Amino acid sequence: MDFATMGQTLAKNDGIEMHLVGPDGVTELYAVKGENGDWSVTSDPDAEGALPCVFTVVGQDSRAYRRRKHELVDALRARQKVLKSAQIETEAMKMVAAGVTGWSSIPWEGELLEFSDDNLLKFLDLYRPAFDQTNEFIGDRTNFLRVA
C-alpha cells in the first residue's frame, strides 16, 4: 500500500456500519417489535427479533462528505453575516449528517423511521448521543481502515 491507495481506503465512499449506542456511550441499541406491533429500543441483543440500530457512515476523506462540506461553507460565505449560536449548531449538525448515507432499524414513535435528510436531522437533534457518536466516529480515521 502507498499513500495514494491508503487515501482511497480511508475514504470508504460506500460507507461502513456504525452500531448506535445508548447515552452511556457503550451500550449497543437494538430495535424490537412489541406484541402490539409497535417498534421500540432495547439494549438486550437477545430480545426476540432484535435488530441492531445502525447508521451507514462515510469518512471525512470521502468525496461525498467533502462535497457536502464545501457546499455548506460556500452557503455560509454567501450569507456574509454573523451567524447566531443556533445557526452555528444547525450547520454543525448538517456537517455530521453529511457523513451519514443511510440507516437501518431506527424506531421512532412506534414505527421504523424511513431514512431521509429531514428525518436524519430530526433524529440527530432529538437524540444527541447519536450526534455525538457520529461526529466522533467520522472524525476517527481508524474506523475506516481495513481490518486485517
Residues 131, 124: Cα–Cα separation, whole Å: 5
Report the percent of the chain where pLDDT is more than 70.
85
Give pLDDT, residue 65.
82
| CA angle (146, 63, 107) in 5-degree steps | 75
59, part of any domain: yes
Name which of 27-41, 91-105, 117-131 the model is least confident about: 91-105
13: nearest Cα among 70, 65, 69:
65
1, part of any domain: no
Give pLDDT, residue 147.
53
Residues 33, 47: Cα–Cα separation, whole Å: 10
**Most confident listed range (7-11, 50-54, 67-71, 137-141):** 50-54
5, part of any domain: no
Task: Tell me which residue has cell 452511556.
Answer: 24
71, part of any domain: yes
Residues 23, 43: Cα–Cα separation, whole Å: 11
- Mean pLDDT on 73-91: 72
> Which residues have CB under 8 Å from 124's CB, separation 6+?
93, 96, 97, 130, 131, 134
The alpha-carbon radius of gyration of the chain (Å, integer) is 17
125, part of any domain: yes
Host domain of residue 58: 12-35+51-144
42, part of any domain: no
> Which residues have CB under 8 Å from 94's CB, separation 6+?
68, 72, 121
45, part of any domain: no
Domains of the chain: total: 1
83-122 per-position pLDDT tens digit: 677 777 787 888 898 889 899 999 999 999 999 989 999 9
